Amino acid sequence: MAGSDHTAQRVAEAPDTVKILIAGGFGVGKTTMVGSVSEIIPLRTEERLTSAGLGVDDLDGIEDKNATTVALDFGRITISQELVLYLFGTPGQQRFWFMWNDLAVGALGAVVLVDVRRPKSSFAAIDFFERRNIPFVIGVNGFHGEHPYSPEEIREALALPEGTQVLLCDARERKSCRDVLIALIDQLIASAADNRA
Amino acid sequence: MSPQRSATASEVSGGDAGGRLVRPFALTGGRTRPRNEFTLITVVSAVDPPPARRGRQQPEHARILRMCGKPIAVAELAALLDLPMSVVAIMLCDLLEAGRITVHPPRVVSPSQDIHLLQKVRDGLGRL
Ligand SMILES: Nc1nc2c(ncn2[C@@H]2O[C@H](COP(=O)(O)OP(=O)(O)O)[C@@H](O)[C@H]2O)c(=O)[nH]1
Ligand SMILES: [Mg+2]
């Protein structure tokens, strides 16, 4: 269906796009992770709070412009000429969470990053994806490359649903971040295969 | 479908009052709409050659057209223009109604049917 029809006017062939969200509390390393795997330096786009859904009618009447925008960081991984993966770092602060609803629409899934030193800061993110049945994996970002806790201990501390993958990672390392993304995709492939069977 | 609804985007742009809103072509101010046509990862491309009736244009519209000579995602446009997504979406609406861009919506993924797509993503990540 997509991009294959030929019209009178010449239009460059557009790739299909998919997205994965990188979520977690403030300062857990979301932007760092996006930057580690992205082929472009993370770009930043702003959204005004009243129009986060891009479907809101009125951009006027906003008094304090500074207080009403929220920044989104994102990166890109070109899979092939026909397929591009975008990674969106979700805004960390709780008050911006309504934006996540829009961001989550159509997402393949999410990586919830956890800072080992303060795992509770990612509770709310886990809750968000769990409630909406959006597939996710946990990436435990060992600041300073240290992982004092095992995946099992993290799983317990976060009261994760059974079967949730917990991966120890380093948000600064490309390969490490890539492996977390692959774990998410493998999980999606496995459940897709299950649904078929 | 009513005749108004079936009017093409470029017909509507000419000031045709045909059922859909015809808005002033200002960058800000007095904005109504847009629908959910443009998500962050919607890809837009300039139509080449442009249609005969181009409609009125702001410099920002011309800038966007230059930037989407090659297909580009809306989020990237917004970042490069340093404008809020919602503002970019409105300008893209203008361009769409003027028949100057085409819109390629994101891939709708239903995991149970899309093993093939997921496999492609996986292979791509494996190459990183
Ligand atoms: N030492 C160390 N610093 C990190 C790591 N990940 C992120 N940081 C730093 O922690 C700060 C917050 O990271 P950032 O990616 O902006 O967090 P975000 O709020 O989740 O986007 C930044 O100064 C990063 O450079 C890590 O694995 N180790
Ligand atoms: Mg950040």
Band of residue A66 on the pLDDT scale cut at 50, 70, 90? very low
Cβ distance of A17 and B107 shorter than 8 Å: yes
Would you tell me which CATH number, out of the four given (1.10.10, 1.10.3470, 1.10.260, 2.60.40), belongs to the domain B22-127?
1.10.10
Ligand 2 mean position, distance from CA B101 (Å): 32
How many CB atoms are closer than 10 A to CB A11? 17
Q: For chain B, what are the domain ranges?
A: 22-127
- Coil, strand or helix: which one is B102? strand
Contacts of the segment B65-70: beta carbons below 8 A, 24+ positions apart: B65/B95, B65/B100, B65/B101, B68/B44, B68/B101, B69/A12, B69/B45, B70/A12, B70/B45
Q: What is the mean pLDDT of residues A81-92?
A: 92
Q: Domains of chain A, with CATH numbers?
A: 2-196 (3.40.50.300)
Q: For residue A83, what is the enclosing H or E element? A: strand A83-89
Nearest to A185 among B38, B70, B122 (CB): B122
How many CB atoms are closer than 10 A to CB B58? 13
ipTM for this model? 0.84
Average pLDDT, 10 consecutive residues per value, chain B (128 residues): 33 32 38 67 92 76 94 96 89 92 89 84 96
- Ligand 1: does its nearest atom lie under 6 Å from the Cβ of A122? no
Cβ distance of A79 and B124 shorter than 8 Å: yes
The number of the ligand 1 atom at minimal distance from the alpha carbon of A33 is 15
Asked if residue A181 lies in contact with residue B125, where contact means CB atoms within 8 angstroms, the answer is yes
Q: What b/e string do you get for A16-29 counting C-beta neighbours within 10 Å, with b at 16 or more?
A: bbbbbbbbbbeebb
Cβ distance of A58 and B70 shorter than 8 Å: no
Residue A95: pLDDT over 80:
no
Cβ distance of B73 and A86 shorter than 8 Å: yes
pLDDT in tens, A6-15: 445 555 689 9
pLDDT in tens, A16-30: 999 999 999 989 999
pTM, 2 dp: 0.82
Task: Tell me how far apart the alpha carbons of residues A60 and A82 are, in angstroms, rounded to a whole number.
Answer: 38
- Ligand 1: does its nearest atom lie under 6 Å from the Cβ of A91? no
Is the minimum CB–CB distance between B33 and chain A shorter than 8 Å? Answer: yes
Q: Which two tokens stand for residue B122?
A: 């996986």
Give pLDDT, residue B58.
83
- Ligand 1: does its nearest atom lie under 6 Å from the Cβ of A89? yes
Give pLDDT, residue B86.
84
- Ligand 1: does its nearest atom lie under 6 Å from the Cβ of A90? no
Please give the residue of chain A at the shortest CA–CA distance from B74. Answer: A45
- Rounded to the nearest angstrom, the minimum Cα separation between B2 and chain A is 23
Percent of chain A with pLDDT over 70: 79
- E strand segments, B7-71: 43-48
Which stretch of A31-40, A53-62, A118-127, A141-150 has the lowest confidence by average pLDDT? A53-62
